[in-house]
């Protein structure tokens, strides 16, 4: 099985999710450091749709830039995330079974 993780190596939850993926037999993991290689707005929209969550659910609310998005539309949130990827909550994991936001990291098992 192939799995893609949008990962921040400085984030403990992201590292834990990556360890789950790496320790699962038969999983071929592609790691994308999303701060270095940000997903496009369209990619983010697709990931959130597959995960069954809104862009607001994928917003990293504790970032100072997120406060300005309190009443923003999903479209505005996606635009902000594409422009400033630190606003993307991590990790996001995609397999052929779906997409999960790894908060807590054990949630990635749902798509393995």
Helix (H) and strand (E) counts for the chain?
3, 4
Q: Which residues are designated catalytic?
A: 11
CA-nearest of 49, 42, 46, 35 to 91 is 35
């Amino acid at each position: 099985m192939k799995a893609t993780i949008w990962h921040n190596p400085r984030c403990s939850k992201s590292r834990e999710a990556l360890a789950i993926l790496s320790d699962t037999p038969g999983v071929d993991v592609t790691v994308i450091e999303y701060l270095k290689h940000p997903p496009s707005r369209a990619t983010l929209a697709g990931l959130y749709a597959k995960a069954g969550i809104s862009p607001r659910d994928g917003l990293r609310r504790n970032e100072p830039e997120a406060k300005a998005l309190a009443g923003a539309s999903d479209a505005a949130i996606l635009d902000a995330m594409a422009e400033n990827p630190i606003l993307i909550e991590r990790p996001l994991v995609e397999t052929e079974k779906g997409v999960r936001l790894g908060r807590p990291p054990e949630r990635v098992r749902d798509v393995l």
